[in-house]
Amino acid sequence: MNELEDYFRDEANEIVEGLTRDLLALEKNPADSAILARCMRLAHTLKGAARVVRQTRIGEMAHTIEDALAPFRDTDETITSDYVSDLLRILERIREETMKLGATIAPGPASDGKGKGTTKPAPPPIDDRLETVRVDIADMDALLEGLSEASIQIGPLNGGLAALQHALRLAVLLREELELGQTMGERGRSPRLAAQFAEITQSLVHAERDINASLGRIERELGEVQSRAATLRLLPVGAILGTLELTARDTAEALGKNVSFSARGGEVRLEGHVLSAVRDALLHVIRNAVDHGIETFEERLAWGKPEAGRIHLDIERRGRMVAFRCSDDGRGIDVAAVRKAAVHRGLASSEEELDEEATLALVFRSGLTTAAEVTEISGRGVGLDVVREVASRLRGSVRLSSKLGEGTTIEIEVPVSLSSIPVLSVMFGGSTALVPLDAVRGTRRLTASERLQGPDGERILFGDRAVPFTSLGAVLASEGERHDLPEACSAVIVQSGEAWIALGVDRLLGTMDVVLRPLPPGAGAPAAVAGAAFDAQGDPLLVLDPPALARTGARRGAAMETRREAPKRLPILVIDDSLTTRMLEQSILEAAGYEVDLSASAEEGLRKAKARKYGLFIVDVEMPGMDGFEFTATTRADPALRDVPVIIVTSLATSKDREKGAAAGASAYIVKGEFDQKHFVRKVAELLGAAS
Amino acid sequence: MNGRSQEWDRSGDGAPVSAPAIAAERHVTDLRRAFDASFAAPPRDAERSGELVLAIQAGGQGYAIRLSDIDGVHECRKVVPLPEAPPGLLGLTGIRGRLFAVHALGALLGLPTWNEKPRWLLIAGGDEPIAIGVASIEACLEVSPADLVPVDSAKEGEAHVREFVTLAGQARGVLVLESLVARALKRAGERREGAS
């Protein structure tokens, strides 16, 4: 119990700190409903945590704060400074209570919840906690960054070693050449030279041997330290199971119910702050399950259910995610009642507009409760809102399924975040990517004939299953880029839920453990990428996201289908005397899926225009020989070419030039200094669409 | 970032709100930043009072950047491309064990010839740092505050320039990195239109 109280003290301090800050912010912005909601959630969390360690006084005070804030959420009334001051005074008392709690924890038998009010100072606890150090996660990250930097510095050392080995080989060769080629006149000097060479060679041999061995040892040791440090950052879920069980028991006790709690998967490890946020969410889920889900003893007997309600938590690692499934065998959610409550609270205008899924999703909305009366434990419509908020903050998800009379399951899926995961390293088109190993069902060496062409794209046989096949290059390449697989390639077969996909790669490089890092700010959220890890040189490697890969693969298949129909679209002719501009426009247009021909002069452009049917001309103005205005005018006068629109792209920016372009018959005029790729592509699409 | 607030109680009037852990973390971050910056910044005399600016090239154009606006300058090593990247987002790179998204400065400025290989990366963006790729760094110079001439009205396409400075006889726009970083984040889909 001491350990639990320690956790509580830390948690309570953090919450009080957060609440103080938020209440002060609310005082300044009384109409900010987000701050108000946060204050209520913090008070709610504190109330729940206090109940777990049987700090009823703190629990009551937190309840008072939550209660006092509720009217401001439900009405238009805004909070006043005096009111905030009152709440801060209550917080101050909570703080005093918490400090008192810290000072009175006495070593010895587990607390029975009584006699906590004494203020007798306890002797400092002497137990094995002296062997444990609490480390801030930021310090842990700094350590990991330092280690990563140290291992990166080994890269150049390896380069130095290679240079030394090369010098050694040269020295040996040089000595041999000297021995063979010496002339009579050189004989006199040779013993001295030979001795010097022998000495140089010997020194190089020693240096190479020592450096090589030490470097190998340093690399191994550093690797070991890195992996240990990375693991230290992760905590087993088992660390929170005690708290959860206690919550279930205490809540049941307070409500006069009988509940048994079980859990599986406590060995799954994840990052400390992810785990602590999930714990908060699970506390609410469990309290809700006991309060609203599990029926009273009499009710359960009447339904023919066992006397004790059952709450089971299943923890499972799914690639970069961890799923927490909390199921109860209680009464389930009464969808009709939720509909009614939603309409009552104005969340829906009529009960008809809510189907079952939409109704269940409403359970996570702030302020919605079906509880007939607000109890001290839950029923204020805050609990499940916290669950949704935690899941979204951690970039995870939450799902709810329920059967009336049979029970409810809430699944919270969160990323492991900075966790160490085993991956398969693969190479494609000169790049390396990492596939989380737990999604890999197998690998296969493939020849082109083993890739079976079907109506919905390629498939390969894996066991008795025909798995959709796609080149990893095609999934990861940017628009317009191509990655052809070699005749014989490897396939990595990946499973995600019900979906299977085989990824074609040039070759497999092996497995390793990496620390998965989230993508940094500004990197966007590419669907197929879960994050990145560093290689030994400190360069990033993309870690793939198997569930998204399956989806992206399917989308690509659909896109390829559409692309196959594309030939109907006519090619574009780009005429510009500047190679750079030609290349730039070509790359933009090809990336957007167009076929492009190039000409360096208007004359050449005219010849090409007569030889092939184009959908659009993009032409520069200032060129040696015929200029862009003349080209435009010439094509407008030619019945075969007059319907092909012309875009003038030029550095001539005056209105006079623009008028000249329009007079010549150009459909659009783009100034190079104002060149905007999106606008350009849009204009091209517009004109090509109009022309075809 | 671990989501903690950067504010802490300084009152010291008995309210145990102050969080030594947060303060320590902040201190460590400040020290780390100062340490990194000490490598990026050229030595300067204590008496000098001018502003240090970097003269750089991106997309074939010369610009200036206040040294105080950036958190570090690093040589551009390997950049790993990202799928579905918007134009100008060159990919990911690793600097001292941290990941950064690399955006081409030329693309952020809307220059047509932004697609050049960056030689240097400027780190900017404070708590949400990104690496901005520039083709070359020509010089690091000290200018007096009087040499920085405010621009009256920002023209279309020059919204990221609020001042001009004349370096070696050539007038250069001084870039506002804050808005360029905001543009990079917006392009990556991490900020809504209009957010800065």
pLDDT tens-place string over residues A431-448:
899 998 878 889 989 888
- In-domain check, residue B127: yes
- In-domain check, residue A125: no
ipTM: 0.73
Q: Chain B residue closest to A88 (CA)?
A: B15
Same structural domain, A275 and A206 = no
Q: Do A142 and B77 touch (CB under 8 A)?
A: no
- Tell me what the pLDDT averaged over chain A comes to: 79
Q: What is the strand order of the sheet B89-95 is part of?
A: B72-75, B120-124, B130-134, B98-104, B89-95
**CATH number of the CATH domain containing A41:** 1.20.120.160
- In-domain check, residue B9: no
Task: Residue A675: list chain B partners with CB under 8 A.
Answer: 110-112
Same structural domain, A637 and A534 = no
pLDDT tens-place string over residues A264-318:
988 888 877 788 889 889 988 998 899 888 998 888 999 899 989 999 999 998 8
Q: Do A529 and B83 touch (CB under 8 A)?
A: yes
Same structural domain, A469 and A546 = yes
Per residue, what are the HEC states of A334-370? CHHHHHHHHHHCCCCCCHHHCCHHHHHHHCCCCCCCC
Counting the structural domains of chain B, the total is 1
Does the pLDDT of residue A244 top 60, yes or no? Answer: yes
Q: Do B185 and A137 touch (CB under 8 A)?
A: no
- Give the residue carrying structure tokens 């809102």: A385
Structural domain ending residue among the three candidates A415, A441, A459: A415
- For the residues A422-435, what does the mean pLDDT come to? 89
Does the pLDDT of residue A565 top 50, yes or no? Answer: no
- Give the residue carrying structure tokens 């000595």: A175
To the nearest whole Å, the CA of B108 is away from the closest chain A CA by 11
- In-domain check, residue A668: yes
Structural domain ending residue among the three candidates A232, A258, A278: A232
Does the pLDDT of residue A572 top 70, yes or no? Answer: yes
Q: What is the pTM of this model?
A: 0.48
- In-domain check, residue A117: no
To the nearest whole Å, the CA of A525 is away from the closest chain B CA by 8
To the nearest whole Å, the CA of A434 is away from the closest chain B CA by 13
Neighbours of A524 (CB within 10 A): 21
Q: Which of residues 83-142 of B touch A (CB under 8 A)?
A: 83-87, 89, 92-94, 96-101, 103, 110-113, 115, 125, 128-130
- Give the residue carrying structure tokens 């740092």: B129
To the nearest whole Å, the CA of B61 is away from the closest chain A CA by 11
- In-domain check, residue B40: no
Same structural domain, A262 and A400 = yes
pLDDT tens-place string over residues A496-539:
767 788 999 998 998 877 777 888 999 988 888 888 988 877 78
Same structural domain, A377 and A392 = yes
Tell whether A13 is within 8 A of chain B (Cβ).
Answer: yes
d(CA A66, CA B38): 49
Same structural domain, A97 and A179 = no
With a pLDDT cut of 90, the percent of chain A lying above it is: 16
pLDDT recorded at residue B118? 92
d(CA A412, CA A414): 6
Which of these, A140, A531, A521, lies nearest to B123 by C-alpha position?
Answer: A521
- In-domain check, residue B78: yes
- In-domain check, residue B36: no
Task: Residue B156: list chain A partners with CB under 8 A.
Answer: 674
pLDDT tens-place string over residues A640-662:
898 899 999 888 888 888 899 99
Q: Which of residues 502-531 of A touch B (CB under 8 A)?
A: 517, 519-529
pLDDT tens-place string over residues B152-192:
755 655 678 888 888 878 889 999 898 899 999 988 886 54
- In-domain check, residue B55: yes
Does the pLDDT of residue A493 top 80, yes or no? Answer: yes
Does the pLDDT of residue A547 top 70, yes or no? Answer: yes
Q: Do A520 and B100 touch (CB under 8 A)?
A: yes
Structural domain ending residue among the three candidates A177, A206, A232: A232
Task: Residue B122: list chain A partners with CB under 8 A.
Answer: none
pLDDT band at A611 (very low <50, low <70, confident <90, very high): confident
Which of these, A73, A13, A12, lies nearest to A40 by C-alpha position?
Answer: A73
Task: Residue B92: list chain A partners with CB under 8 A.
Answer: 519-520, 523, 532, 540, 542
Same structural domain, A513 and A574 = no
Same structural domain, A470 and A580 = no
- For the residues A234-253, what does the mean pLDDT come to? 82
Task: Residue B97: list chain A partners with CB under 8 A.
Answer: 144-149, 152, 534, 538
DSSP per residue, A487-533: SEEEEEEEEETTEEEEEEESEEEEEEEEE-BPPPTTS---TTEEEEE
Same structural domain, A182 and A193 = yes
Tell whether A100 is within 8 A of chain B (Cβ).
Answer: no
Candidates A390, A545, A576, A677: best to mutate against B (most CBs of B within 10 A) is A677
- In-domain check, residue B63: yes
Neighbours of A195 (CB within 10 A): 10
pLDDT recorded at residue A195? 82
Same structural domain, A268 and A410 = yes
Same structural domain, A442 and A513 = yes
- In-domain check, residue A148: no
Helices A33-52 and A2-28: crossing angle, nearest 10°? 160
Task: Residue B22: list chain A partners with CB under 8 A.
Answer: none
Range of the domain at A408: 236-415
Tell whether B183 is within 8 A of chain A (Cβ).
Answer: no
pLDDT recorded at residue A391? 81
Answer whether B80's CB lies under 8 Å from B29's CB. no
Candidates A539, A549, A579, A649: best to mutate against B (most CBs of B within 10 A) is A539
Same structural domain, A256 and A377 = yes
- In-domain check, residue A632: yes
Q: For A584, which of B17, B93, B115 is closest by C-beta distance? A: B115
pLDDT band at B194 (very low <50, low <70, confident <90, very high): very low
Candidates B17, B27, B130, B192: best to mutate against A (most CBs of A within 10 A) is B17
Tell whether B156 is within 8 A of chain A (Cβ).
Answer: yes
**CATH number of the CATH domain containing B62:** 2.40.50.180
Range of the domain at B135: 51-187
- In-domain check, residue B175: yes
